[in-house]
């Protein structure tokens, strides 16, 4: 019998043996930079006639890996393989499918340092951010395996006299898995294995900025005993094959995490039936965020300042749950801005391979240009408190930046930047702070710092986000405890019921 699910513990890097193991894993990964990765279709390595390269954002001329680039022909090969595999995999018992995930979790535990190393080098993560990513991936494998077993045993049918009704959950078919680069192991693993353990087969198109990390899962699932054709890895350019995968008549569902613009396009394309399509495609789209921490005058300001900075600058603010704006009540506003600036100025910046660096680079040149353009906008819309500069020409490094006196409705208040830029907004009272927090079209996560129980209850009822945290940071959702649901406001929230997850510290 399986023990109850428990979140994976982080490696303690204060121990010399763990530091040495991580350093050795980074060195070992660097020695593999000349590797050429093939597509993985129907259990076989497949070459295309084109290649593309993945680079280290901390050293933009350094090639991390070279990949064969899938086109429409390779997508068709992968789709045919997935369709054939589905006709067998769908009939494998839920427990047997779950066993594959449990084996994969064990393999991933053994390769933590290796997986961390590839994330550090390919996506610019710090040691602890990479470790958290790998632990979350392990959690998804363990959690989804147990959930599949649990749901296979649920018999939630209302009894009917003289009948013997049954409830069975059936897999859908072939799914397109399109994960992001910012959680290149965790979200990729969660999206892929949730589909697989429920009996579906998948076409996995990894993010173009993180294919090397994604390939680690392919190797693990292969070793865990996943049959050929269930997982097909088709690296390539989203602009070239993304639409084709989504519009393919045999694609049954699409799981996507990324920008609002791409997510809405996928939703639009999937809604239009293709020739030969006999079903309505399902789309699961998680599309970014403009997340807010509200700081009340009745709060522990030291704790709030520490966690606003952690939420804003962890992984350079490149999380859909990152704190992009903080709304502060006017009677503590000036003091709190100073507290934020003091902490931001102390953050160390540099390549993630150096353990002492808290912040690394943003992911690529396009991201760097976007963030710098918003910094210029911020100089016109508010007061630059600290940061605002690009540093270290060899990589895409930008200082942690704070803009104060940002008005509601401006660019820095409303638009997703996805970088180390924090907008600070003043509110007259708690009611106004919640109204400002709700004023964007995004609503992924949020946090409120206050000791006032009435205000906490008000926030629970009025702060419209998927995950609302009380007196803790707005990043760091834990598998099983904080199921993170995107709440982009074009959804029909106003026309029906929706849910919110509350989490927070028990102690004052």
pLDDT confidence band for 485 (50 / 70 / 90): very low
pLDDT at residue 85 tops 90 = yes
Report how far residue 7's alpha carbon sits from residue 9's, in angstroms, rounded to the nearest whole number.
Answer: 6
User: How large is the average pLDDT for residues 477-490?
Assistant: 62
- Whether residue 124 is predicted with pLDDT greater than 70 in this model: the reply is yes
Count Cβ atoms below 10 Å from residue 93 Cβ, excluding itself. Answer: 12
pLDDT category of residue 88 using cuts at 50, 70 and 90: very high
In degrees and rounded to multiples of 5, residue 414 shows phi and psi of -105, -30
- Determine the average pLDDT of the residues in 232-237: 96
For residue 157, what pLDDT is reported?
A: 83
**Which of the two residues, 68 and 495, has the higher pLDDT score?**
68
Q: What is the pTM of this model?
A: 0.94
Give the SS3 label for residue 502: strand
What's residue 505's pLDDT?
Answer: 53
Residue 419 has pLDDT above 80, yes or no: yes
Annotated active-site residue in 129, 286, 368, 416? 286
- 230's CB contacts (< 8 A; 6+ apart) are 82, 85, 89, 196, 201, 202
pLDDT band at 192 (very low <50, low <70, confident <90, very high): very high
- What is the secondary structure of 369-415 as a DSSP string? HHHHHHHHHHHHHSEEEE---EE-TTS-EE--EEEESPPTTSHHHHS
Token code pair at residue 45? 């390595």
Q: Are 274 and 248 in contact (CB under 8 A)?
A: yes
Q: What is the pLDDT of residues 262-298, one digit of tens each?
A: 999 999 999 999 999 999 999 999 888 899 999 999 9
Q: Tell me: the pLDDT tens digits for 5-17?
A: 999 999 999 999 9
Enumerate the CATH 3.40.309.10 domain ranges in the chain, comma separated.
Answer: 291-504
Is 60 exceeded by the pLDDT of residue 492? Answer: no
Give the pLDDT confidence of 335-361 residue by residue, as tens digits: 999 999 999 999 999 999 999 999 999
Mean pLDDT of the chain: 93
What local confidence, expressed as pLDDT, does residue 491 receive? 36
Put residue 162 in one of left, alpha, beta given phi > 0 → left and psi -120 to 50 → alpha: left
Strand 291-295's sheet: what is its strand order?
383-386, 401-404, 421-427, 323-329, 291-295, 445-449, 467-470, 501-504
CATH number of 37-156+168-286: 3.40.605.10
> What are the tokens at 431?
């009611």
Q: Which of 311, 310, 391 is nearest to 346 (CA)?
A: 310
Pairwise CA distance, residues 219 & 22, whole Å: 20
Which residue among the candidates 122, 129, 135, 320 is catalytic per the annotation?
320
Residue predicted with more confidence, 62 or 441: 62
CATH 3.40.605.10 domain locations along the chain: 37-156+168-286
Say what the pLDDT of residue 488 is.
40
Q: What average pLDDT does the segment 137-150 reach?
A: 96
Provide the pLDDT for residue 469. Answer: 94
Tokens of 295: 């700081």
Number of other residues whose CB lies within 10 A of the CB of residue 497: 5
Q: What percent of the chain has pLDDT over 90?
A: 87
Give the residue carrying structure tokens 């593309």.
52
Other beta carbons within 10 Å of 164:
7
The DSSP-derived string for 329-363 is EGGGHHHHHHHHHHHHTT--BS-TTSTT-SB---S
Residues linked to residue 500 through DSSP beta bridges, in sequence order: none
* Cα distance between residue 62 and residue 64, in whole Å: 6
CATH number of 291-504: 3.40.309.10
Say whether pLDDT at 228 is over 50. yes
Mean of pLDDT values over 368-392: 98
pLDDT given at position 307: 97
Work out the pLDDT band at 165, boundaries 50, 70, 90: confident
pLDDT in tens, 242-259: 999 999 999 999 999 999
| 320: annotated active-site residue | yes
> In this predicted model, what pLDDT tens digit does every residue of 438-449 receive, in sequence order?
999 988 899 999
Reduce the DSSP state of residue 277 to 3 states and report it: coil
pLDDT at 480: 87
Q: Is 474 a catalytic residue?
A: no
pLDDT at residue 411, rounded to an integer: 98
Q: Report the percent of the chain where pLDDT is more than 70.
A: 95
pLDDT (average), residues 18-30: 98
What's the average model confidence in pLDDT over 43-72?
97
Using the predicted structure, report yes or no on whether residue 2 has a pLDDT greater than 70.
yes
């Amino acid at each position: 019998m399986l023990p109850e699910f428990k979140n994976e513990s982080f490696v303690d890097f204060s121990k010399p043996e763990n530091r040495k193991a991580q350093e050795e894993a980074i060195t070992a990964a660097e020695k593999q930079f000349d590797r050429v990765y093939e597509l993985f279709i129907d259990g076989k390595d497949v070459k295309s006639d084109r290649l593309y390269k993945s680079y280290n954002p901390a050293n933009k001329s350094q090639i991390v890996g070279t990949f064969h680039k899938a086109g429409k022909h390779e997508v068709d090969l992968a789709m045919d393989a997935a369709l054939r595999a589905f006709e067998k995999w769908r009939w494998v018992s839920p427990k047997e499918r779950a066993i594959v995930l449990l084996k994969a979790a064990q393999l991933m535990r053994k390769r933590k340092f290796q997986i961390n190393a590839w994330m550090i080098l390919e996506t610019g993560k710090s040691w602890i951010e990479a470790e958290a990513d790998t632990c979350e991936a392990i959690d998804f494998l363990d959690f989804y395996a147990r959930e599949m077993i649990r749901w296979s045993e649920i018999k939630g049918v209302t009894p009917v006299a003289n009948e013997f009704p049954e409830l069975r959950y059936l897999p859908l078919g072939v799914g397109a898995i399109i994960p992001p680069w910012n959680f290149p192991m965790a979200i990729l693993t969660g999206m892929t294995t949730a589909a697989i353990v429920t009996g579906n087969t998948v076409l996995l198109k990894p993010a173009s900025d993180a294919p090397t990390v994604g390939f680690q899962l392919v190797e693990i699932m292969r070793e865990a005993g996943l049959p050929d054709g269930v997982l097909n890895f088709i690296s390539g350019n989203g602009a070239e094959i993304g639409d084709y995968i989504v519009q393919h008549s045999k694609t049954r569902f699409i799981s996507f995490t990324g920008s609002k613009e791409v997510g809405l396009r996928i939703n639009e394309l999937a809604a239009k039936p293709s020739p030969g399509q006999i079903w309505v495609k399902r789309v699961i789209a998680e599309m970014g965020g403009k997340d807010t921490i509200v700081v009340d005058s009745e709060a522990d300001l030291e704790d709030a300042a520490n966690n606003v900075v952690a939420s804003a600058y962890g992984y350079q603010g490149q999380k859909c749950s990152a704190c992009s704006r903080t709304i502060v009540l006017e009677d503590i506003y000036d003091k709190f801005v100073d507290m934020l600036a003091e902490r931001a100025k102390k953050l160390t910046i540099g390549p993630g391979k150096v353990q002492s660096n808290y912040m690394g680079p943003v992911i690529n040149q396009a991201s760097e240009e976007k963030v710098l353009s918003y910094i210029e906008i911020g100089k016109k819309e508010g007061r630059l408190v600290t940061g605002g500069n690009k540093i270290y020409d060899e990589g895409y490094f930008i200082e942690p930046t704070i803009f104060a006196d940002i008005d509601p409705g401006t660019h820095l208040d409303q638009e997703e930047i996805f970088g180390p830029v924090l907008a600070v907004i003043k509110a007259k009272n708690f009611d106004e702070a919640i109204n400002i927090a709700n004023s964007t079209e995004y609503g992924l996560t949020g946090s409120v710092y206050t000791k006032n129980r009435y205000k906490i209850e008000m926030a629970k009822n009025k702060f419209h986000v998927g995950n609302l945290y009380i007196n803790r940071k707005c990043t760091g959702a834990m598998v099983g405890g904080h199921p993170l649901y995107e709440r982009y406001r074009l959804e029909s929230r106003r026309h029906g019921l929706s849910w919110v997850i509350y989490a927070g510290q028990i102690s004052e």
